[in-house]
Structure 1
Amino acid sequence: MSSGLLGRVKAGWRAFQGWRRHRPFGAGMFLLPASAVIGLPPYASFRLGDVVLSIRTMGGMSALLIAALLLICAVSLWSRPQYRVAAGVTAILVSLVALVSSNLGGFLVGTALGLVGGALAVSWAPPTADERDGDEEGGSGPSRTRLAGVAVLLVGAVVGAPAASPSASAATTAVPSGRVWVLTASVLHLTGLRYHGVSTTRVGGVEVEVLRFTANRIDITSLVQVSELVDGHLGRITAPPGSVSTATGQPIELLTLRLKGTLSVLGLVGLPVDFTPDRPPPLVLPSLTFTDVTVVNTDLRHARLTIPAAKITVT
């Protein structure tokens, strides 16, 4: 009898472990106490002997609303993990709002718990295929915390700048259709951005999956772009450090194999992201800023790229 009960307990624990690994469970565990710490103080009373203490300060209704939002975010992380980035960003924002609207965010403790929970939600990534296979075989699988949050990238097309190489004319076609080209920048700011999902294109005669984005304008600081030319040579376009290159179009269409960098959240928090067709962005806002960006693309359409004092070389 005891061995049968122990077996059921072990089976239940393994089922729970599998369920937990497929959602940002730890993030929800931070948001639940954050909700309580922020929501309860304005309504709490404490008795010390014959003396009753009540914390009836500002923010009663706002504390209740923020606590409810944090609770909803925690529940959604467990029940709808595909919306983890939206829930995580919401938790971060309302935890910051609690600082000025609800007793210093539950005397700073609630805000701290909310920020940690929100960051964990944004950073969580679902198990890979290998990890899922490991779960099915009874293995625990490695834990993952990939910081990510939202978005995308681009650039390169018509260069209106002086050449610095005898072969500069060949490099003006530095964004060939169906060829891989790599953009790096210290800052990348995109406006009018939209993510259209995973698409397919051909690279070197092979069909590959890509992320498809459109944007109205792209500002690139300290641009460096390397692309493969038709004859097998590499074309390199470099802008002066600190200069801002711009890409405009109505809209610009970009096919991306990989976007890696740091996403700036309100200019306060940097979240490392690494988006690929296997790990697409769960949420893309209309305006995004990345720093220390590397973007691998295969195609760019309907764009005009202006690079101040560009240096073009072919190797």
Structure 2
Amino acid sequence: MSFRHWRWQRPFWAGLLTLLAGVPIVYIPYADPSFEELSFRLATTTGSGSLIIGILLVVLGLTFWYQRYARVFAGVAAILLGIVSLVVSNFGGYLLGFLLAMIGGGMGIAWAEGEAPGEEPAAADGRTGGR
């Protein structure tokens, strides 16, 4: 099976965006910014909370790829974790991780399995082809 065929059978872009949402949420609280005005925290558990939220978003992104039937659960969980990251993780990784989690979770919930590119749709009575 080719990568293109594999990608069309699951919410690939939702998984990729959700996976990428975890990166700034984990990275930014642990980074040592050279600009002091960019460093702010809203919670006392910013480090551990950010780490947990970021890892869970990465796992949910992989869930979109490998457990496509759990897409609604993974989408709702990604949206909820994105909202929680606003308070726990420097405004959700300076809003970058928050927005990626919102878009990826929404895409995962809205995804519906279609036909792979290049396949001809079957007729309603089971025959293929035109009249």
Both structures adopt the same fold (TM-score exceeding 0.5): yes
Q: Does 1:87 align with 2:79?
A: no
Larger Rg: 1
* Greater share of strand: 1
Q: Per chain length, whose mean CA-contact separation is higher, i.e. which structure has more relative contact order (CA < 8 Å, sep 6+)?
A: 2
Q: Does 1:73 align with 2:64?
A: no
Matching residue of 1:121: 108
CA RMSD of aligned residues (A): 2.6
Q: Helix, strand or coil: the match of 1:23? A: coil
Matching residue of 2:5: 18
Matching residue of 2:23: 36
Q: AA paired with 2:68?
A: P
Q: Which residues of structure 1 form unaligned runs of 5+?
A: 1-13, 142-315
Preserved CA contact (<8 Å) 1:47 1:53: no
Matching residue of 1:241: none
Preserved CA contact (<8 Å) 2:86 2:92: yes
Deviation at 1:91, TM superposition (A): 0.1
Q: AA paired with 2:112?
A: A
Map 1:123-138; keep pairs closer than 5 Å: 123-127=110-114, 131=115
Q: With the length of structure 1 as denominator, give the TM-score of the two structures.
A: 0.34
Structure 1 ranges of 4+ moved more than 3 A:
52-58
Map 1:257-276; keep pairs closer than 5 Å: none
Matching residue of 1:303: none
1:151-192 Cα shifts (integer Å, max 9, x gaps): xxxxxxxxxxxxxxxxxxxxxxxxxxxxxxxxxxxxxxxxxx
Distance 1:111 1:54 in 2: 17
* Greater share of helix: 2
Deviation at 1:42, TM superposition (A): 1.0
Per the alignment, do residues 53 and 44 of structure 1 end up closer, same or farther by CA in structure 2, a change over 3 Å counting? Answer: farther
Preserved CA contact (<8 Å) 1:43 1:55: no
2:97 to 100, 103, 110: 110
Matching residue of 1:61: 48
Question: How many matched pairs?
Answer: 118
Q: With the length of structure 2 as denominator, give the TM-score of the two structures.
A: 0.79
Preserved CA contact (<8 Å) 2:19 2:59: no
1:99-153 Cα shifts (integer Å, max 9, x gaps): 11111111111111100000000000112xxx25xx5xxx178xxxxxxxxxxxx
Per the alignment, do residues 30 and 46 of structure 1 end up closer, same or farther by CA in structure 2, a change over 3 Å counting? Answer: same
2:32 to 37, 40, 45: 45
Which segment is superposed worse, 99-108 or 53-62? Answer: 53-62
Matching residue of 1:5: none
Per the alignment, do residues 106 and 54 of structure 1 end up closer, same or farther by CA in structure 2, a change over 3 Å counting? Answer: closer
Q: Which residues of structure 2 form unaligned runs of 5+?
A: 121-131
